[in-house]
């Protein structure tokens, strides 16, 4: 694993930067959907491609040497704008906006469209697994008060998950030593479509840290 990077950007400045980058990524999310669904004539497709390539060259004129990583400042603010599930600047991410109701109980509401399709009209089973994995990891961390790693994750598919508005929910079920069991689900207005159970591990160094702290 790479380092968590300490970068001393004040939180007020981060808010301003997020207000700049969020609409850029949202425009890219929209472009991604349009790329799947467009039926315009082929010469227009080729023209769009050329313009996107020119745009990429301009954005790459100055860029990070690698992935975005996870950064934090000394005001205890952390940001992972590149994260595949919750990353503000990552158009692969819906992004999921997770509400930590309490330590060990979190939920999210999300609307999934064309880019998340698997079987016709349904959310890809792997996408459900991806979103649940992230929500459960954050839940195991008890709202970021400790570090946990995913041990095992089991998904049970009850029925197809329709594209559209969905709700995810996760809770810590029980804990034993450095092991944390989390149960979770995703579903639509008619109820649960996929259930999940995961075992998360608090690493020995972090458990020691907590004991010392």
DSSP string, 120-169: TTBB-HHHHHHHHHHHHHHHHTTTTTS--EEEEEEEEE-S--BSEEEEEE
Question: Could you tell me the CA-to-CA distances from 195 to 45, 62, 136, 151, 152 in Å, in that order?
Answer: 40, 43, 12, 17, 14
Q: Among residues 31 and 210, whose Cβ is nearest to a second copy?
A: 31
Q: Is 82 in contact with 17 (CB distance < 8 Å)?
A: no
Query: Which CB sits closer to a second copy, 112 or 142?
Result: 112
Q: Identify which of residues 86 and 172 has a Cβ nearer to a second copy in the complex.
A: 86
Q: Shortest Cβ distance from residue 128 to a second copy (Å)? A: 9
Q: What's the distance, CA 30 to chain centroid?
A: 17
Please, what is the end-to-end C-alpha distance for the chain in angstroms? 24
Q: Which pairs with CB-CB distance under 8 Å and at least 24 residues apart come from 37-45?
A: 37/114
Strands 5-6 and 71-72: parallel
C-beta of 205: minimal distance to a second copy in Å? 15
Task: Give ∠ CA 192-117-189 in degrees, rounded to 5.
Answer: 25
Nearer to a second copy, 126 or 165 (CB): 126
Query: Least distance to a second copy from the beta carbon of 11, Å?
Result: 18
The CB-of-5 to a second copy minimum distance in angstroms stands at 8
Closest CB 61 distance from a second copy, rounded Å: 6
CB 67 within 8 A of CB 82: yes
Shortest Å, Cβ 56 to a second copy: 5
Q: Which is nearer to a second copy, 189 or 211 (CB)?
A: 189
Question: In this complex, which beta carbon is closest to a second copy, that of residue 94 or of residue 104?
Answer: 94
């Amino acid at each position: 694993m790479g380092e968590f990077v300490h970068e001393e950007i004040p939180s007020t400045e981060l808010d301003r930067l997020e207000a700049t980058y969020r609409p850029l990524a949202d425009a890219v999310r929209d472009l991604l959907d349009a790329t799947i669904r467009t039926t315009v004539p082929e010469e227009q497709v080729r023209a769009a491609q050329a313009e996107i390539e020119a745009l990429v060259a301009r954005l790459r004129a100055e860029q990070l040497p690698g992935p975005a990583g996870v950064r934090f400042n000394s005001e205890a603010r952390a940001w992972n704008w590149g994260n595949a599930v919750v990353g503000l600047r990552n158009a692969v991410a819906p992004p999921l906006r997770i509400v930590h109701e309490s330590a060990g109980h979190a939920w999210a509401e999300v609307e999934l469209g064309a880019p998340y399709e698997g079987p016709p009209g349904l959310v890809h089973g792997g996408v459900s697994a991806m979103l649940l994995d992230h929500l459960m990891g954050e839940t195991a961390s008890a709202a970021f008060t400790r570090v946990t790693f995913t041990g095992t994750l089991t998904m049970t598919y009850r029925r197809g998950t329709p594209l559209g508005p969905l709700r995810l929910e996760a809770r810590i079920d029980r804990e034993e030593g450095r092991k944390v069991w989390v149960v979770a689900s995703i579903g639509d207005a008619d109820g649960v479509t996929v259930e999940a159970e995961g075992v998360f591990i608090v690493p020995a160094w972090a458990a020691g840290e907590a004991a010392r702290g």
